[in-house]
Every structure is written in structure tokens, then in C-alpha cells.
Amino acid sequence: MANPQLESFLAMAKGEPALLRQLSACPNLDAIAALGASLGFSFTGVDLVRHQAEATLRLSEEELAAAAAGVELEGHLWLMTIVWG
């Protein structure tokens, strides 16, 4: 189930280049949640994981194949990165 606070934050972020730069500097999802909290939004890193999982499940087979190949999908705020370690 979507968190309305997170949805509002993401909608705002899409229209604000300065905020998108701040998001890019966040080292993890909890840091994104802390940034959101500093702007008056209430959501967690777990809410972000759920949001991305739900968005991924809505993708068509063609969109999933493109994402697996590294193509950035329109409407998504971040790309998945694999960290080997």
C-alpha cells in the first residue's frame, strides 16, 4: 500500500532539480527518508523499498527486459545499482 507522504515527496522531487541533486547525494534509503523528514514528509527507507517493488511489479515484460539491460525507465527517480562485495 502506497504511503501518501512518500507519493507527495516523490512528486515534488520530480519537479525540483535542486532536490534531485540532494537525493543523488544520499548514501542509502534511510538518508532519503531523513531528507524527506527535514522537508516535513513522513516515510521510511522501508516505504521506499516497497514503493520501488510495487513499481517494478507493474512493469511490462518489455520494460523489465529494458531495466535488466540497464535502460533508465521514464518516471523512475533512481536506477538500481548492483554492488558486489
**pLDDT score recorded for residue 42:** 97
The pTM of this model reads: 0.76
Give pLDDT tens digits for 21-70: 999 899 989 999 999 999 999 999 999 989 888 888 888 888 888 777 77
* C-alpha cell, 14: 520530480
**pLDDT score recorded for residue 6:** 95
Domain boundaries, the chain: 4-68
Residue 7 C-beta-side C-alpha neighbours within 13 Å: 6
Name the amino acid, one letter, at 49: V
pLDDT at 75 over 70: no
Please give the average per-residue pLDDT across 7-17, as a whole number: 92
Q: Which residue has the higher pLDDT, 42 or 77?
A: 42
